[in-house]
Amino acid sequence: MTRWLSSFKPETYVFLILVLFGLILLFLNTTYKEITTRWLSGTVFLPYYTALDILPKYRRLALENEQLQQQVIRLSVENEQARSALAENQRLKQLLDFKAEHSYHFISARILRQFYNGRSLSLVLDKGRTAGIAINQAVVTPAGLIGRIISAEPSTAIVQTLYDPNCRVGARLQHSRAIGIALWESGPFLRLKNIPIDTDIQPQELAITSGMGGIFPAGFPVGRVVNVQREHTGLFFEVQLAPAADFSRLDHVFVTRVDSLNSP
């Protein structure tokens, strides 16, 4: 019997109760019917009426909540897109300002790929000989020197960056005016060699291209001093430089035109 009763759904019990009360009402007089009807409406059926009234409101609130969540996501995406566009506009303005401030002739190029072969870092540009790019042209950004062109095809070119042991740059310390050779051997920093031991080197002093050698025009930032120590001979300082350009965030560069290499 218990198993039989438990097989009924809750809706079945409600239906049976309603049928039972209906049968009782048939045998009651008018007064008792009114009293019983009020009691049923105010006590028994009130929760069901309330539930039936709340259910559409709940569904409407759930729908509104879902729509608000979608709107928040959409506004968040639009906000990020606006911020990205603003950052891109600022970056492009910086590039244009850099180009306008220098007397050199520049070719703007986008970086297609960076690759590290275990010993050196190189870049592939989206422009080549057709755009006027040639071997040994210097490659720079507004922040500083990147390297030089070592290969030029009609529509692409390869940059030998400062993070290549074969890329050596004549560099001058901006404050002391001492000249040395900047190169990379390992780790995150460049080394500025052959700086006389009596040089007054300042902390965070900027090293710029000296213009010697005929490849890199003078005046472009190479790096800032982060450490100074004596070479084993005791005659020179070996200076560690943090590259002026952030190589981890490169996407565009400028290539100097051949006819600008002798510009002041």
Q: Kindly list the structural domains of the chain, giving each domain's residue range(s) and its CATH number in brackets, ordered by start.
A: 2-44 (no CATH), 106-260 (2.40.10.340)
User: How far apart, in whole angstroms, are the C-alpha atoms of residue 220 and residue 102?
Assistant: 10
User: How far apart, in whole angstroms, are the C-alpha atoms of residue 91 and residue 250?
Assistant: 11
The per-residue pLDDT for 232 is 77
The per-residue pLDDT for 15 is 58
Q: What token pair was written down for 216?
A: 């890199």
- DSSP 3-state helix, strand, coil percentages of the chain (rounded to 5)? 40, 30, 35
User: How far apart, in whole angstroms, are the C-alpha atoms of residue 107 and residue 113?
Assistant: 18
209 burial via Cβ count (<10 Å: 0-12, 13-18, 19+): buried
What lies within 8 Å, CB to CB, of 120 at 6+ separation is 160, 161, 163, 164, 165, 166
The alpha carbons of the chain give a radius of gyration, in whole angstroms, of 39
User: How far apart, in whole angstroms, are the C-alpha atoms of residue 111 and residue 100?
Assistant: 21
User: How far apart, in whole angstroms, are the C-alpha atoms of residue 25 and residue 10?
Assistant: 23
Q: Give the pairing type, strands 169-173 and 179-183.
A: antiparallel
The per-residue pLDDT for 193 is 92
The per-residue pLDDT for 264 is 37
The per-residue pLDDT for 233 is 77
Q: What are phi and psi of 35, to 5 degrees?
A: -65, -45
Let me know: does 125 contact 133? Beta carbons within 8 Å.
Answer: yes
Residue 120 is which amino acid?
S
The per-residue pLDDT for 231 is 81
Its pTM stands at 0.61
Per-position pLDDT tens, the chain of length 264:
545 445 555 556 555 666 665 556 555 555 555 555 555 555 555 555 555 566 666 677 777 776 776 666 566 556 656 665 666 566 666 656 655 555 578 899 999 999 888 889 999 999 999 999 999 999 998 889 999 999 999 999 999 999 999 999 999 999 889 999 999 998 999 999 999 999 999 999 999 999 888 889 888 899 999 999 888 777 889 899 999 999 988 998 999 874 534 443
